[in-house]
Structure 1
Amino acid sequence: MIRVYREALLSGDDRIVSEIESRINIIEKEKNELEKKVLELSAEITTGKEKFIRLQADFDNFRKRSEKERLTTRFDAQGEVIESLLPMVDSFERAKEQLKPETEKETKIDTSYQGIYKQFVEIMRSLRVAVVPTVGKPFDPSLHEAIAREESQEYKEGIIIQEFRRGFLLGDRLIRPAMVKVSSGPGNKKASMAS
């Protein structure tokens, strides 16, 4: 087409020159429209990619939130079940302290009873249930409930000297605080000597 255009220009054929220029203008318009469409499609693709990336991020956040909520719900339910079983632990421990088997039959019953308790403790341990440390440890209001204070020559002020009821943790979460007696320190030695 360029060769024909050149020949028409050289020969002075205005009709062919005009026709070719008209075609070139049409092609130029089509090219401009195509470039415009390409730019529009590129913008749509970029917008679509951005939307996809945002949607993917939203979905990832939703998935993480759902997993966290699922674990929290499970952990809360597990904590409630374990908390409801703690009075049974207390009963086992009271019975252990009070039972003093004297006959062979009583010893067998006590052994059976202690076997059940040991199995129960192992199940609790496998669920990550732990006893709150008490005697000899510093009082911590987030783990312990002080129900008494008493002077002590053996323990410094703020140290737990007696446990009345065991406290329990589920992982790092407190299920039940330990009920304890806390040392108020050695007290007034002159008052002790006067007594």
Structure 2
Amino acid sequence: MNQDDIAEGGQSPAPQEQEVEKPESKQAAASEADELRERLLRALADAENARKRADRARAEGRESGIADLVSKIVPALDSLDLAIEAAGRTEEGTQPSVDALLNGLRATSRAFLDALIKVGVERICPGTGQAFDPNIHDAISSRSDDETGDGLVLETLQPGYRVASRLVRPARVVIARAS
């Protein structure tokens, strides 16, 4: 404040009213800052440890899922090995048994499909005359067919697969068209 302010009725602050920082308050502020810094460092360390635990849990879950899938696929591989072995067993001068090979291949196909079903895979294999659904079917071609209605599935070339609501591959189909 200057002299004009005092003349206009303003008062100059008294020396005892001015805030003077005491050494105790500086120490308290420094101590509080140190404590806050330590709490921040602990919180950061806790967050890092939580991230590492989550990463480990994710890796363990992935390994567990893979091990579970492998345990379901191994029987299919065993069936394939048995089919190969059976086809290779022949008496001298004879051809391998085609029936044994076909039976082994069918068993392998069933085992693979069973393994997929056990892990939640749904097979999409539309039958003849089923309505074509572009959400789960892929029309590879169309053929004239008077017996099957226009736009209906005439033949399934490859089945489709879905896991929960996610389409892995659409069923590849031939659809009928009116002649």
TM-score category, normalised to shorter length: 0.3 to 0.5
TM-score normalized with structure 2 length = 0.44
Q: Larger % of helix: which?
A: 1
TM-score by length of 1: 0.41
